[in-house]
Chains A and B, each alone.
Chain A
């Protein structure tokens, strides 16, 4: 395996934290600063069939990362996600932060488990 800059941390993030409006807040700067990658979840207004298929994809992505020991976390709520994950045998920790500050603190506190392997690959 070639070593690279990946953080081995992936958050499944509800759309309102990626495209915030109203009372929502923008999670991307916090996640970037903390070294997390994002799997964005389908917006809640999407047609059911489209959303179901995209959530299946999100779950398959998460399964592949879990298989390799990456740290995974759900941020926010998305109807249908838990079922899609459960079909693949996955149950992940979830944060429901109310502010960017709270998200930053919880990520810093390590509420999600650390990656179980050094997925960046061997050093030179």
Chain B
């Protein structure tokens, strides 16, 4: 039996971030190191935003990705990810999904929300877009896992995109989820 963390794409590849969002050249090492220290294998999930709106996409909020077309796109990816999780669970592996707080797609308990955002992409600096909730992809993934009877799969998230990011707090929170608490 192995312990396997399904991580958001950008945790191994910051090049996938919206322009201005990459905090390191490629691999976000704090998460990789923490997972490795605790004996977890890593499986990277695809980035739903990169293959939908591309590298030159604007910073967006959840409402802008909450369309039928984007949900269809997410479900296509989710089908493969859930299939992979299913294959691991059949082998008796332990699974954790690691998202990115604040993301309109990959947020686990914090997403970004602004029902009025649209049009020419100019908005006030520091606009209060963070809001409780899941990103669209994580919501679709959880729905598919529930449908397959895997509602018990645990979730965690990194916080490096949040203004009050605290690396030690992020580390402790992930450690708790990895321990199953």
Report whether A6 and B14 are in contact in the complex, using a CB–CB cutoff of 8 Å.
Answer: yes
CB distance from B121 to the nearest CB of A (A): 11
**What residue of chain B has the Cβ atom nearest to residue A47's Cβ?**
B87
Q: Given A28-B27, A42-B84, A47-B87, A4–B20 Cβ distance below 8 Å?
A: yes
B9, B17, B25, B77 pick with most chain A CB within 10 angstroms: B25
* Segment of A7-15, A79-87, A89-97 in the binding face: A7-15
Q: What chain B residues lie within 8 Å of A65 (beta carbons)?
A: 15, 55
Which of B23, B51, B84 is A46 in contact with, Cβ under 8 Å? B84
User: Is A54 engaged at the interface, CB distance under 8 Å to the other chain?
Assistant: yes
Q: Which A residues are CB-close (under 8 A) to B43?
A: 40, 43
Interface: A2 (CB within 8 A): yes
Q: A5-B25, A38-B26, A53-B80 are in contact. List 5 more A-B contacts (CB 8 A).
A: A1-B19, A39-B12, A47-B83, A60-B51, A61-B9
B67 close to chain A: CB less than 8 A: no
CA distance A1 to B79 in the complex (A): 33
User: A24 CB to closest chain B CB, in angstroms?
Assistant: 12
Asked if B47 lies at the interface with its beta carbon under 8 angstroms from chain A, I say yes
Bound state CA distance, A8 and B16, in angstroms?
10
Evaluate contact between A2 and B19: CB separation under 8 angstroms.
yes
- Please tell me if the beta carbons of B87 and A10 are within 8 angstroms of each other in the complex: no
- Residues in A whose Cβ lies below 8 Å from that of B77: 57
Q: Is the CB–CB distance between B26 and A61 below 8 Å?
A: no
Tell whether A18 is near chain B: CB-to-CB under 8 Å. yes
Q: Contact partner of A64 among B51, B79, B83, B87, CB < 8 A?
A: B51
Residues of A within 8 A of B12 (CB): 18, 28, 37-40
Are A57 and B80 interface neighbours, CB within 8 A?
A: yes
Query: Contact between B25 and A36 (Cβ–Cβ < 8 Å)?
Result: yes
Q: Is the CB of B24 within 8 A of A61?
A: no
Q: Which residue in B26, B47, B79, B84 is a CB contact (below 8 Å) of A35? A: B26
Q: What distance in Å separates the Cβ of B27 from its nearest Cβ neighbour in chain A?
A: 4
Interface contact B79-A10, CB-CB below 8 Å = no
Q: List 13 A-B contacts (CB under 8 A).
A: A5-B23, A19-B42, A28-B12, A37-B12, A39-B12, A42-B84, A53-B76, A53-B79, A54-B80, A54-B84, A60-B51, A61-B47, A61-B51
